[in-house]
Amino acid sequence: MDLHLEGISHTYGDIKVLEDINLTINDGEIVCIVGPSGCGKSTLLRFIGGLERPDKGQVLQMGHPPVDSLNPLTYIFQDFALLPWRSVRGNISLVLEDHGIKGKKADPIISDVLARTNLSEFAKAYPRQLSGGMKQRVAIARALAVRPAVMLMDEPLSALDSQTRELLMDDLIDLWERDRFTACYVTHNLNEAVRLGHKIVVLSRRPGKIREIVDIDLPLNQRKDHSELLDQKQKQLWSIMREEARAADKELVHG
Protein backbone atom coordinates (compact mmCIF):
# COMPACT_ATOMS: atom_id res chain seq x y z
CA MET A 1 0.00 0.00 0.00
CA ASP A 2 1.32 3.45 -0.90
CA LEU A 3 0.50 6.62 0.99
CA HIS A 4 0.05 9.94 -0.74
CA LEU A 5 0.16 13.12 1.31
CA GLU A 6 -1.49 15.90 -0.60
CA GLY A 7 -1.27 19.56 0.33
CA ILE A 8 -1.21 19.09 4.09
CA SER A 9 -1.29 22.33 6.10
CA HIS A 10 -2.23 22.81 9.72
CA THR A 11 -2.51 25.52 12.35
CA TYR A 12 -2.90 25.08 16.11
CA GLY A 13 -4.46 28.27 17.47
CA ASP A 14 -2.30 30.97 15.92
CA ILE A 15 0.71 28.69 15.38
CA LYS A 16 1.07 27.53 11.82
CA VAL A 17 2.70 24.11 12.12
CA LEU A 18 2.78 22.58 8.65
CA GLU A 19 2.47 24.08 5.20
CA ASP A 20 1.65 22.36 1.94
CA ILE A 21 3.28 18.98 2.50
CA ASN A 22 3.19 16.77 -0.59
CA LEU A 23 4.86 13.40 -0.29
CA THR A 24 4.54 9.79 -1.45
CA ILE A 25 5.54 6.87 0.74
CA ASN A 26 5.89 3.90 -1.56
CA ASP A 27 5.19 0.34 -0.52
CA GLY A 28 8.30 -1.36 0.87
CA GLU A 29 10.15 1.91 1.41
CA ILE A 30 11.44 3.53 4.60
CA VAL A 31 10.90 7.28 4.50
CA CYS A 32 12.70 9.25 7.21
CA ILE A 33 11.51 12.67 8.27
CA VAL A 34 14.06 15.02 9.79
CA GLY A 35 13.89 18.68 10.68
CA PRO A 36 14.52 21.12 13.51
CA SER A 37 12.73 20.84 16.86
CA GLY A 38 9.10 21.82 16.75
CA CYS A 39 8.83 21.83 12.94
CA GLY A 40 5.85 19.49 12.97
CA LYS A 41 7.35 16.02 12.44
CA SER A 42 5.24 14.25 15.07
CA THR A 43 2.17 16.21 14.01
CA LEU A 44 2.66 15.01 10.44
CA LEU A 45 2.96 11.41 11.68
CA ARG A 46 -0.32 11.79 13.60
CA PHE A 47 -2.02 12.97 10.41
CA ILE A 48 -0.60 10.02 8.49
CA GLY A 49 -1.86 7.64 11.18
CA GLY A 50 -5.28 9.25 11.20
CA LEU A 51 -5.06 10.24 14.89
CA GLU A 52 -5.80 13.83 13.90
CA ARG A 53 -6.99 15.56 10.75
CA PRO A 54 -5.15 18.42 9.10
CA ASP A 55 -6.94 21.71 8.43
CA LYS A 56 -6.10 21.35 4.78
CA GLY A 57 -5.04 18.50 2.54
CA GLN A 58 -5.37 14.75 2.86
CA VAL A 59 -3.58 11.44 3.28
CA LEU A 60 -4.64 8.94 0.64
CA GLN A 61 -4.08 5.20 0.96
CA MET A 62 -3.48 3.71 -2.49
CA GLY A 63 -3.72 -0.04 -2.95
CA HIS A 64 -4.56 -2.55 -0.27
CA PRO A 65 -2.98 -3.44 3.05
CA PRO A 66 -1.84 -7.08 3.50
CA VAL A 67 -4.94 -9.32 3.49
CA ASP A 68 -4.40 -10.36 7.11
CA SER A 69 -3.54 -6.85 8.33
CA LEU A 70 -5.30 -6.11 11.62
CA ASN A 71 -4.12 -2.53 11.84
CA PRO A 72 -2.87 -1.00 8.58
CA LEU A 73 -1.20 2.01 10.24
CA THR A 74 0.68 1.00 13.39
CA TYR A 75 2.77 3.20 15.67
CA ILE A 76 6.06 2.53 17.41
CA PHE A 77 6.90 5.16 20.02
CA GLN A 78 10.07 6.23 21.76
CA ASP A 79 8.83 5.13 25.19
CA PHE A 80 7.96 1.52 24.19
CA ALA A 81 4.47 1.73 25.80
CA LEU A 82 4.53 -1.79 27.25
CA LEU A 83 2.18 -2.96 30.01
CA PRO A 84 4.41 -3.73 33.03
CA TRP A 85 2.11 -6.44 34.41
CA ARG A 86 2.17 -8.44 31.22
CA SER A 87 5.00 -10.66 30.02
CA VAL A 88 6.64 -10.14 26.63
CA ARG A 89 4.26 -12.72 25.15
CA GLY A 90 1.35 -11.11 26.98
CA ASN A 91 2.17 -7.66 25.62
CA ILE A 92 2.17 -8.98 22.08
CA SER A 93 -0.92 -11.07 22.66
CA LEU A 94 -2.82 -7.97 23.78
CA VAL A 95 -2.95 -6.39 20.32
CA LEU A 96 -4.26 -9.67 18.90
CA GLU A 97 -6.86 -10.04 21.69
CA ASP A 98 -8.16 -6.62 20.66
CA HIS A 99 -9.09 -8.28 17.37
CA GLY A 100 -10.53 -11.42 18.97
CA ILE A 101 -7.45 -13.53 18.18
CA LYS A 102 -6.61 -15.66 21.21
CA GLY A 103 -5.14 -18.99 22.31
CA LYS A 104 -4.22 -21.40 19.52
CA LYS A 105 -4.95 -18.82 16.82
CA ALA A 106 -2.62 -16.28 18.41
CA ASP A 107 0.24 -18.65 19.32
CA PRO A 108 1.82 -19.05 15.86
CA ILE A 109 1.63 -15.30 15.17
CA ILE A 110 3.30 -14.48 18.49
CA SER A 111 5.98 -17.16 18.05
CA ASP A 112 6.72 -15.86 14.56
CA VAL A 113 7.24 -12.23 15.60
CA LEU A 114 9.26 -13.28 18.65
CA ALA A 115 11.54 -15.32 16.39
CA ARG A 116 11.86 -12.48 13.87
CA THR A 117 12.93 -10.06 16.60
CA ASN A 118 15.24 -12.59 18.34
CA LEU A 119 13.07 -12.57 21.45
CA SER A 120 11.93 -16.20 21.61
CA GLU A 121 13.82 -16.96 24.80
CA PHE A 122 12.44 -13.85 26.51
CA ALA A 123 8.76 -14.68 25.93
CA LYS A 124 8.05 -15.12 29.64
CA ALA A 125 10.08 -12.14 30.86
CA TYR A 126 8.41 -8.97 32.19
CA PRO A 127 9.28 -5.46 30.94
CA ARG A 128 11.05 -4.59 34.23
CA GLN A 129 13.52 -7.41 33.53
CA LEU A 130 14.43 -6.07 30.10
CA SER A 131 16.93 -3.46 28.95
CA GLY A 132 15.70 -0.46 26.92
CA GLY A 133 16.83 -2.11 23.70
CA MET A 134 14.94 -5.32 24.49
CA LYS A 135 11.82 -3.36 25.38
CA GLN A 136 11.93 -1.62 22.03
CA ARG A 137 12.36 -5.01 20.31
CA VAL A 138 9.15 -6.11 22.07
CA ALA A 139 7.41 -2.98 20.81
CA ILE A 140 8.60 -3.76 17.28
CA ALA A 141 7.43 -7.39 17.62
CA ARG A 142 4.05 -6.16 18.85
CA ALA A 143 3.77 -3.83 15.84
CA LEU A 144 4.69 -6.64 13.42
CA ALA A 145 2.06 -8.95 14.97
CA VAL A 146 -0.77 -6.88 13.48
CA ARG A 147 0.78 -7.08 10.00
CA PRO A 148 0.75 -3.34 9.39
CA ALA A 149 0.79 -1.90 5.90
CA VAL A 150 2.84 1.02 7.19
CA MET A 151 4.77 1.38 10.45
CA LEU A 152 4.80 4.88 11.86
CA MET A 153 7.90 5.28 13.98
CA ASP A 154 8.31 8.36 16.16
CA GLU A 155 11.91 8.65 17.40
CA PRO A 156 11.91 4.90 18.15
CA LEU A 157 15.58 4.72 19.14
CA SER A 158 16.10 8.07 20.80
CA ALA A 159 15.68 6.77 24.37
CA LEU A 160 18.50 4.26 23.83
CA ASP A 161 22.26 4.60 24.24
CA SER A 162 24.36 4.73 21.09
CA GLN A 163 25.52 1.09 21.17
CA THR A 164 22.00 -0.22 21.65
CA ARG A 165 20.82 2.09 18.88
CA GLU A 166 23.40 0.51 16.56
CA LEU A 167 22.15 -2.99 17.41
CA LEU A 168 18.53 -2.02 16.91
CA MET A 169 19.36 -0.42 13.54
CA ASP A 170 20.98 -3.71 12.49
CA ASP A 171 17.85 -5.56 13.63
CA LEU A 172 15.55 -3.24 11.71
CA ILE A 173 17.66 -3.68 8.57
CA ASP A 174 17.59 -7.50 8.97
CA LEU A 175 13.82 -7.39 9.43
CA TRP A 176 13.41 -5.21 6.37
CA GLU A 177 15.68 -7.42 4.24
CA ARG A 178 13.65 -10.51 5.21
CA ASP A 179 10.21 -8.99 4.74
CA ARG A 180 10.18 -5.50 3.28
CA PHE A 181 8.00 -3.36 5.44
CA THR A 182 6.90 0.20 4.73
CA ALA A 183 7.73 2.84 7.32
CA CYS A 184 7.60 6.51 8.00
CA TYR A 185 10.36 7.16 10.50
CA VAL A 186 10.68 10.45 12.39
CA THR A 187 14.09 11.16 13.86
CA HIS A 188 16.42 13.91 15.05
CA ASN A 189 19.35 11.68 14.37
CA LEU A 190 20.86 12.12 10.91
CA ASN A 191 22.97 8.99 11.29
CA GLU A 192 19.81 6.92 11.77
CA ALA A 193 18.27 8.63 8.77
CA VAL A 194 21.15 7.77 6.42
CA ARG A 195 21.38 4.19 7.73
CA LEU A 196 17.67 3.42 7.46
CA GLY A 197 16.07 5.79 4.97
CA HIS A 198 15.48 5.12 1.30
CA LYS A 199 14.20 8.65 1.15
CA ILE A 200 14.96 11.38 3.67
CA VAL A 201 12.56 14.28 3.86
CA VAL A 202 14.04 17.46 5.32
CA LEU A 203 11.47 19.81 6.81
CA SER A 204 12.11 23.51 7.35
CA ARG A 205 11.55 25.10 10.74
CA ARG A 206 7.96 25.86 11.66
CA PRO A 207 5.77 26.02 9.69
CA GLY A 208 7.31 22.80 8.42
CA LYS A 209 7.60 22.75 4.65
CA ILE A 210 9.54 20.22 2.61
CA ARG A 211 12.98 21.78 2.05
CA GLU A 212 14.41 18.84 0.19
CA ILE A 213 14.05 15.10 -0.34
CA VAL A 214 17.35 13.21 -0.36
CA ASP A 215 17.33 9.72 -1.89
CA ILE A 216 19.83 7.07 -0.92
CA ASP A 217 19.94 4.28 -3.48
CA LEU A 218 22.44 2.07 -1.68
CA PRO A 219 20.83 -1.14 -0.30
CA LEU A 220 20.30 -0.97 3.46
CA ASN A 221 22.42 -4.04 4.18
CA GLN A 222 25.42 -2.56 2.35
CA ARG A 223 25.42 0.85 3.97
CA LYS A 224 27.75 0.02 6.83
CA ASP A 225 30.42 -0.85 4.25
CA HIS A 226 30.08 2.53 2.54
CA SER A 227 30.68 4.88 5.42
CA GLU A 228 32.12 7.57 3.12
CA LEU A 229 28.90 7.81 1.16
CA LEU A 230 26.87 7.89 4.37
CA ASP A 231 29.10 10.63 5.81
CA GLN A 232 28.66 12.63 2.64
CA LYS A 233 24.86 12.22 2.74
CA GLN A 234 24.82 13.15 6.43
CA LYS A 235 26.84 16.30 5.71
CA GLN A 236 24.49 17.14 2.86
CA LEU A 237 21.50 16.82 5.23
CA TRP A 238 23.18 18.89 7.91
CA SER A 239 24.07 21.64 5.48
CA ILE A 240 20.40 21.84 4.46
CA MET A 241 19.27 21.84 8.09
CA ARG A 242 21.89 23.92 9.87
CA GLU A 243 20.45 27.39 9.37
CA GLU A 244 16.93 26.16 10.02
CA ALA A 245 18.01 24.42 13.21
CA ARG A 246 19.85 27.51 14.43
CA ALA A 247 16.83 29.72 13.77
CA ALA A 248 14.48 27.22 15.44
CA ASP A 249 16.80 27.05 18.45
CA LYS A 250 16.75 30.84 18.87
CA GLU A 251 12.97 30.84 18.50
CA LEU A 252 12.62 28.35 21.37
CA VAL A 253 15.00 30.28 23.62
CA HIS A 254 13.35 33.65 23.01
CA GLY A 255 9.80 32.27 22.94
Closest separation in Å from C-beta 106 to ligand ATP: 34
Closer to ligand ATP by Cβ: residue 9 or 111? 9
Residue 223: CB minimum distance to ligand ATP, A: 24
C-beta closer to ligand ATP: residue 41 or 147? 41
- Closest contact distance (angstroms) between CB of 207 and ligand ATP is 9
CA distances from 172 to 57, 70, 161 (A): 31, 21, 16
Q: Are 41 and 201 in contact (CB under 8 A)?
A: no
Residue number with CB closer to ligand ATP (37 or 58): 37
Min dist CB 38 to ligand ATP, Å, is 4
Q: Applying CB under 6 A, which residues contact ligand ATP?
A: 12, 15, 17, 35, 37-43, 188
CB of 78 to ligand ATP, least distance (A): 9
Minimum CB distance to ligand ATP, residue 79 (Å): 13
Cβ proximity to ligand ATP: between 38 and 132 the closer is 38
Decide whether 15 or 115 has the Cβ nearer to ligand ATP.
15
Residue 96: name the closest of 86, 116, 30 by CA. 86
Q: To the nearest whole angstrom, how small is the minimum distance from the Cβ of residue 164 to ligand ATP? A: 20
SS (HEC) of the chain: CEEEEEEEEEEECCEEEEEEEEEEECCCCEEEEECCCCCCHHHHHHHHCCCCCCCEEEEEEECCCCCCCCCCEEEEECCCCCCCCCCHHHHHHHHHHCCCCCHHHHHHHHHHHHHHCCCHHHCCCCHHHCCHHHHHHHHHHHHHHCCCCEEEEECCCCCCCHHHHHHHHHHHHHHHHHCCCCEEEECCCHHHHHHHCCEEEEECCCCECEEEEEECCCCHHHHHHCHHHHHHHHHHHHHHHHHHHHHHHHHHHHC
Q: Which is nearer to ligand ATP, 35 or 57 (CB)?
A: 35
Q: Cβ closer to ligand ATP: 38 or 90? A: 38
